[in-house]
Amino acid sequence: MLEPGRWFRAPRHVLTLFLGVTGSLSLAMGGLAWQLIAQDRALAARRTQERLDNAADAAVAAVRHAVDDLALPLESLAALASGATEARVARLAAAFDDDAVVVLATERGVDAFPPGRLVFYPAAALQRERAATTGRAFAPGEELEFQRRDLAGALRAFEPLAASANPQLRAGALLRMARIHAQLRRPDRALHAYDALAALGSTTSDELPAGVLARYGRCVLLDDLGRRADLDREAGLLARELDRGTWRLTRAEYEFYAERAREWLRGTTPSVSGAAAHRERLSAAVEGAWMAWSATADGVAPPAGTRLVRVDGVEAFATWRSAGGRIAALVGGPRFIEARVAAPAHAVLARYRAGVVLAAPDRRAGGDARANRDRLVQRAAAETRLPWSLEVVDTAPGTELMAARARSRIVIAGLVVVGLFVLAGSALIVRAVNREMEVSRLQADFVAAVSHDFRTPLTSIRQVSELLLDGRVPEDRRQEYYRMQHRDSARLQRLVESLLDFRRMESGAREYRFEPVEITQLVAAVVDEFSVDAVASGYHVETALESNGVVVSADREALGRAIWNLLDNAAKYSPHYKTVWLTTAAREGRVEIAVRDRGVGVPAQDRERIFDKFARGTNAAAIGARGTGLGLAMVRHTVSAHRGSIRLDGAPGGGSTFTITLPVTGRSSRCPAS
């Protein structure tokens, strides 16, 4: 069986255990939340990768579809007869901008559509006709010109040929006549011969178009004559016709004539126009594609193909179909690739929040790409069977991560809210536990004090009773011993009544019997009763009653016990000053009953709790004051029931003054007003 006091002993390890469990749970929740956030971010990264992978697959399909759409008309063009082909090729080429050209290659040569889109052609593709008799026809005149130096005889020899019905003979004769007139210092006749030669256009003379030979010859002649204005005009015409692709030239021929034209025009016009540079790159792309077609072992182009051609660092696209020795090809530059191949892929990838870059097959991801591997997905050309490597780039980086961060913020906010609740709950629980521990301590002190207060009068009563029963008390002193028994019995009764009253007050069952009570008479009676025991302990109560005739509505017994408790409390806490002062005064319809002492006083930290049940001042143990801690609580309860108030005045070390204030209900006619 445990001792009663152990039931009220403070649980020393409860708070430590509670805080430990709460801290462990909080750490566990924080760890789980952190793991959840990390998993959510990893899931967001996987979702981003899946989105880009799906975008890459969609981009490959879109690019392949775009290439197939471009190549589809070429199959029918390659299979058509030559007469019907040119009309269909012209209609197809009209659908493209100036960054693309349709090429038809046959045994007779290469044709480009629209005309003038190319400024030079592959050398192997130009099959210029030269009659077998052309060389023999010019031999007599050339012998006179070069061996015999008979320029006039050479002119007479070439004049019949200049009137020939054969355009190649006529072109060759006019070229030679213009050269001879220039040597004979006949510039006007030479220019006239060049004009006639220019009229033959694309007719070949010495395997070159007559038109370019005529323009070039006139420029050389004008340059020799120093006719600068005429030279600028003629060189400008030569440059414009070269830029427009007027003549079918090889690359070397084109570059030679274009360079000479730029030399003559240097300082008067830009060296190379943008359109000319663009046509040069497109012509170079066609030349590169022709070389790819001719690079097979048998020299026959594959029936179908698509490839990239790099020209001066710029990539061009070429796709072709061949049938029966005929090749139909489509060649496009960067703008054509972007508009006809990349744009459809961009449209498809818009819903994936991604973009596509068409890169060369041999391109490797650079430093920026490697640093952003989570934002870049590559599909190699060997994998896609396309002429490009596709790089799919995230155009909305961090979309999934931002959503994950939003969810993380929600989790963190929830965790913070839970943490705040845990902290608030912990604080409340700690406060409640502390309060319960304090109550347990106060109850333990209360039990000890009550036990002492019961033991003292009971011991006295028992000793006196034993002396009386044994007849050891003289007859003349028996009244004194009877008074001692009566006093201790009354003290014991007051203690029991106090405990019973407090129990009834706590349960709300205390009933007060209010009646008119004259304050001065009540206070005087209480002082007289208290003085009986106080005098024995050396205490003296001084009164100053200025409330004669003041009547209040009160329970005489309850209010008297409250005043007695204040007097007893003043005596307990005044061990060195044996005087207690009690005063009464009436003011403005209220009466004040004040009990003052010069004891140890009440510390500031105890003023709020001194009227609580079981509460005792922190200096009670220092001065050895005994008590149950119920006196002041009962006083406050009683005063509140009488619609009054109680206040505490004083300072530590300077004593205390407890003042009860009650409403006055009338005055007694038997006593004059003070």
Mean pLDDT, 10 residues at a time, the chain of 674 residues: 46 68 81 83 85 91 91 81 69 82 80 87 72 72 88 90 89 91 92 92 85 93 92 92 90 92 75 74 86 66 80 82 83 89 90 87 50 68 87 84 79 81 78 73 63 69 78 79 75 69 66 88 89 80 86 88 87 85 90 89 77 67 61 83 88 85 81 41
Show the tokens assigned to 179: 């050269």
Quote the pLDDT of residue 442.
Answer: 61
Tell me how far apart the alpha carbons of residues 285 and 313 are, in angstroms, rounded to a whole number: 11
Residues in contact with 325: Cβ distance below 8 Å, sequence separation at least 6, in sequence order: 106, 107
* Torsional sign, CA 113, 119, 125, 130: positive
The secondary structure of residue 268, as a DSSP letter, is: T
> 471-495 as b/e, with b when 16 or more CB fall inside 10 Å?
eebeeeeeeebeebbebbeebbebb
CB 95 within 8 A of CB 84: no
Quote the pLDDT of residue 274.
Answer: 73
Q: What is the DSSP string of 365-428?
A: --HHHHHTGGGEEEE-HHHHTSSSEEEEEESSTTHHHHHHHHHHHHHHHHHHHHHHHHHHHHHH
Tell me how far apart the alpha carbons of residues 505 and 129 are, in angstroms, rounded to a whole number: 134
CB 614 within 8 A of CB 439: yes
Quote the pLDDT of residue 58.
Answer: 92
Q: What is the DSSP string of 440-454?
A: HHHHHHHHHHHHHHH
Strands 540-546 and 579-587: parallel
CA 316 from centroid of its chain's CA atoms: 42
CB 184 within 8 A of CB 221: no
CB 250 within 8 A of CB 120: yes
Nearest alpha carbon to residue 516 among 481, 489, 552: 552
Show the tokens assigned to 96: 């493209």
Cis ω on the peptide bond leading into residue 603 (within 30° of 0)?
Answer: no
Tell me how far apart the alpha carbons of residues 549 and 546 are, in angstroms, rounded to a whole number: 9
* Torsional sign, CA 36, 37, 42, 47: positive
Quote the pLDDT of residue 7.
Answer: 44
Helix, strand, or coil (residue 543):
strand
| Domains in the chain: ranges and CATH | 4-52+400-439 (no CATH), 56-119+283-394 (no CATH), 127-247 (1.25.40), 511-667 (3.30.565.10)
CB 430 within 8 A of CB 436: no
CB 566 within 8 A of CB 595: yes
Quote the pLDDT of residue 83.
Answer: 59
634 phi and psi angles, rounded to 5 deg = -70, -35
> 334-343 as b/e, with b when 16 or more CB fall inside 10 Å?
bebbeebbbe
Helix, strand, or coil (residue 308):
strand
